[in-house]
Structure 1
């Protein structure tokens, strides 16, 4: 998995992959493609994730260790 912090936050917040995908307005298939690095995550969706989890985008992308 490319973005471990995204998956960690999803799990920490008790969200299923289905609920997470729905909250982002994408399919589970799209979410899996992002997680596997098959397609890039649009910046707009990274911002939505950061707001959803109340963390920084840098943290989600693994650029910082602090959320």
Structure 2
């Protein structure tokens, strides 16, 4: 399974814990840790919540672009 390195980088850059991000997007810390490590796929609704929380595009989280914001 693919690792979601960008959600870890975004979290660390913001000096946040997995628990605080989990609470912000309404998922348990353990589940968030699984997402960061790639042990579980991030469901679309959680991807959208994380993108909103970090104020970046879903494409950025997925590594499809290096632009944090959608430029459309």
Place the TM-score, normalised by the shorter chain, in its bin.
Answer: 0.7 to 0.9
Superposed CA RMSD in Å reads 1.4
Gapped regions of structure 2 (runs ≥ 5)? none
Q: How many residues are aligned here?
A: 67
Gapped regions of structure 1 (runs ≥ 5)? none
Matched, 1:7 2:17: no
Greater RCO structure (CA 8 Å; 6+ sep): 1
Runs of 4+ in structure 1 displaced over 6 angstroms? none
Q: What is the TM-score when the length of structure 2 is the normalising length?
A: 0.82
Higher helix share: 1
Query: Could you say which structure has the larger radius of gyration?
Result: 2
